[in-house]
Amino acid sequence: MMNRVAMAGALALGLAGCGDGAGLFQPKSPQKSATAEATSAGSRPQARGDGAVTAAPKPPANARTAAQFDTTSAEEKKAAAAKPADAGGETLLGKTVASLGDPSRSGFWLETPLVKAAQKGRVEYNGKSAQVDLIPIDGPSSGGSRLSLPAMQLIGAPLTDLPTIQVFAGS
């Protein structure tokens, strides 16, 4: 019995060193700097819901704060905050509860069950709005949605709450 316990302990210690390439008693290799990571990621284009491409770079691997994750440029923020040229062509899709989407995905987007196909749209919260790519997700129309970090910041939605936002199609 004692032999089995000792064997299980040795096995657990052996496996504890697996996974990241560093052995149990070997130091981990140094992490890439944020600058090196951003340079290697570059400004790879990322597809938007409407098939267009944005050039917002991927956040650095060691990003920890909202400012580090938000890689959108001032020009992109200004364009997203601009009122649509033809606001009369918009359709109110409804309201949805929004949580913070994947902060490592750059750009202005909303994953929502309110749409069945990717399209341009706009979200509004407390009088502030942002033009976004609407990306369909499975679920009932009363289900929640996920909003990108830059879009949440632009409309002043609290990142740690579940704000109710209005969603418009056709901006």
Range of the domain at 111: 44-169
35 versus 82: which is more confidently predicted?
Answer: 82
Residue 26 maps to a domain? no
* Stretch (H or E) spanning 168: strand 164-169
- Which of 3-17, 25-39, 93-107 shows the lowest per-residue confidence on average (mean pLDDT)? 25-39
C-alpha span between 28 and 147 (Å, rounded): 35
Q: What is the pLDDT of residues 47-73, one digit of tens each?
A: 344 433 345 677 777 777 777 677 677
Residue 24 maps to a domain? no
Asked whether 148 and 105 are in contact (CB, 8 A), the reply is yes
Residue 15 maps to a domain? no
Asked whether 125 and 153 are in contact (CB, 8 A), the reply is no
Asked whether 65 and 149 are in contact (CB, 8 A), the reply is no
pLDDT of 65 reads 72
C-alpha span between 153 and 70 (Å, rounded): 9
Residue 25 maps to a domain? no
Mean pLDDT of 21-30: 40
C-alpha span between 40 and 111 (Å, rounded): 28
Beta bridge partners of 146: 99, 111
Residue from 6, 108, 1, 100 nearest 50 by CA: 108
Quick check: 163 pLDDT over 90?
Answer: yes
Quick check: 82 pLDDT over 90?
Answer: no
The pair of three-digit structure tokens given for residue 158, joined into one six-digit string: 């609290």
Residue 97 maps to a domain? yes
The rounded mean pLDDT for the chain is: 72
- The CATH number of residue 91's host domain is 2.40.40.20
pLDDT of 56 reads 67
Q: What is the pLDDT of residues 33-43, one digit of tens each?
A: 333 333 333 33
Around Cβ 11, how many Cβ atoms within 10 Å? 10
Structural domain total, the chain:
1
Residue 11 maps to a domain? no
Residue 33 maps to a domain? no
The pair of three-digit structure tokens given for residue 31, joined into one six-digit string: 């992490």
pLDDT of 66 reads 73
In sequence order, what are the residues at sequence separation of 6 or more whose Cβ sits closer than 8 angstroms to the Cβ of residue 79? 131
Residue 65 maps to a domain? yes
Mean pLDDT of 157-169: 94
